[in-house]
Amino acid sequence: MDKFVAFLENNLSTPMAKLSEQKHLRAIRDGVVSALPFIIFGSLFLIIAFPPVAADSAVGEWAAKHIAEILIPYRLTMFIMTLYITFGIGYSLSQSYKLDPLSGGLLSLAAFLFTIGVKMMDGVGFVLPMTNLGGHGLFVGMLVSIFAVEILRLCKTKNITIKMPDSVPTSVARSFEALIPVTIVLLVMTVITVVFGVDMHSLVDKAVAPLISAGDTLPGVLVPVFLITFFWSFGIHGVSVVGAVARPVWEVYLANNSAAVAAGKAIPHIAPETFFQWFIWIGGSGATLGLVIAMLLTAKSSYSKAMGKATIVPSIFNINEPVIFGMPIVLNPVLIIPFIITPLIGATLAYVATSMGLVNPTYVMVPWTLPAPIGAYLSTGGDWRAIVLVMVNLTISVIIYLPFFKMYDKKLLAQETSVETTDNKKIAL
């Protein structure tokens, strides 16, 4: 068993985790993460615009009347998230190459704007259509920021730059340094989007369409769920590894869902990241709040009793590293089994409930440290049935964890009593 575990760790989980540290993947992840505060802020206005109250109540009528104004903060943040993300990707990627991050961020942003196209509107002047600035344009944003920063890097390493005499102040010299890469990147973008009139968004849309539809199926939900707990079983932060690849897709779902709500249309996707966060990861990856409750209910060994008390509060707020490393679940065959099974069952149930229309799909992003019932309620735009689903999944997780925990606790208790009989009052940690 130990050999098998070591084999998996050395040949599978560690190499895969290292892969997620690939520079471009990491830059995309960090870029998306840097935009999350804006996405959270903007999505809260969706709740105000569509408050969870009766439509004919005073609040409901007020919201319906002022919906366009209420949604302005949403339109300027979440609705155009790719604008922010593109800058973030360019910034992070240049930073990892030790290039000037500000130049990289700005150049990526400019390259992305070239894919949007300018329109003339009577009475308004020139406008940028906003649709592709949002989640819809995310994949194009990723591509052009990587392209922009790679050109920047190429110019730097090949020393293609305008050299200023030493007497020129450094800040002035730097702005000239960026001139050649900026010219190359933006000329290429001009040729593609203006001269040839290529709509990069519709091209990329077609290319990623299979990925977008695959991620929204039941297997598309179960695979990342399994991988996340699989990585955690070796002590590796599963969400940060799997998210490096899956998060762009999850963000597109969230953006599409929120845009549909704002436009008064049916919500298209089941599985944005918020779906995983609130219905599956109750108490953190592996739905470990169920384990902690099982600990509080039945712990016999003094170690489990102490752990249960120490981890219940952080678990309510979805922080479970203390449980994962403290119990530990990591490399612990007894607890890894329910740790992997519980989220798969929770995910299936939540997927079926959402696709049958028993619970609203999620479209609001709230901070992940909220207790699950509150987070689920808010992210479904105030659907009380989401709380019921969370409670059902939580109960199931307690039931699954319970027998495995008891088995492990018995072992701990036996260790403690044997240590005590050898007259060592200290509990082996």
Residue among 205 and 321 whose Cβ is closer to other proteins: 321
Q: What angle do CA 320, 323, 328 make, to 5 degrees?
A: 140
Contacts for 8 with CB less than 8 Å, ≥ 6 apart:
234
**Which among 249, 140, 147 is positioned nearest to 199, based on CA atoms?**
140
Residue among 92 and 256 whose Cβ is closer to other proteins: 92
Rounded to a whole number of angstroms, the minimum distance from the CB of residue 321 to other proteins is 3
Rounded to a whole number of angstroms, the minimum distance from the CB of residue 190 to other proteins is 33
The CA distances from residue 44 to 39, 63, 169, 381, in Å, are 9, 14, 46, 9
Rounded to a whole number of angstroms, the minimum distance from the CB of residue 231 to other proteins is 9
3-state secondary structure of 127: strand
Residue among 17 and 289 whose Cβ is closer to other proteins: 17
Residue among 173 and 331 whose Cβ is closer to other proteins: 331
Residue among 211 and 310 whose Cβ is closer to other proteins: 310
**Which among 416, 426, 422 is positioned nearest to 301, based on CA atoms?**
416
Residue among 113 and 323 whose Cβ is closer to other proteins: 323
The single-letter code of the amino acid at 67 is: I
What residues pair up with 126 in beta bridges, in sequence order?
A: 120
**Which among 27, 73, 21, 19 is positioned nearest to 46, based on CA atoms?**
73
Residue among 46 and 282 whose Cβ is closer to other proteins: 282
Rounded to a whole number of angstroms, the minimum distance from the CB of residue 228 to other proteins is 12
Provide DSSP, 396-409. Answer: HHHHHHHHHHHHHH
Contacts for 313 with CB less than 8 Å, ≥ 6 apart:
none
Rounded to a whole number of angstroms, the minimum distance from the CB of residue 310 to other proteins is 4
Contacts for 40 with CB less than 8 Å, ≥ 6 apart:
365, 366, 367
Cα separation, 258 vs 279, in Å, equals: 18
**Strands, E assignment, 46-131:** 119-121, 125-127
Rounded to a whole number of angstroms, the minimum distance from the CB of residue 411 to other proteins is 16
Rounded to a whole number of angstroms, the minimum distance from the CB of residue 319 to other proteins is 5
Rounded to a whole number of angstroms, the minimum distance from the CB of residue 306 to other proteins is 6
Residues that bind other proteins (CB under 8 A): 14, 17-18, 20-21, 30, 33-34, 232, 235-237, 239-241, 303, 306-307, 310-311, 314, 319-322, 324-326, 328, 330-331, 369, 429
What residues pair up with 125 in beta bridges, in sequence order?
A: 121
Residue among 34 and 131 whose Cβ is closer to other proteins: 34
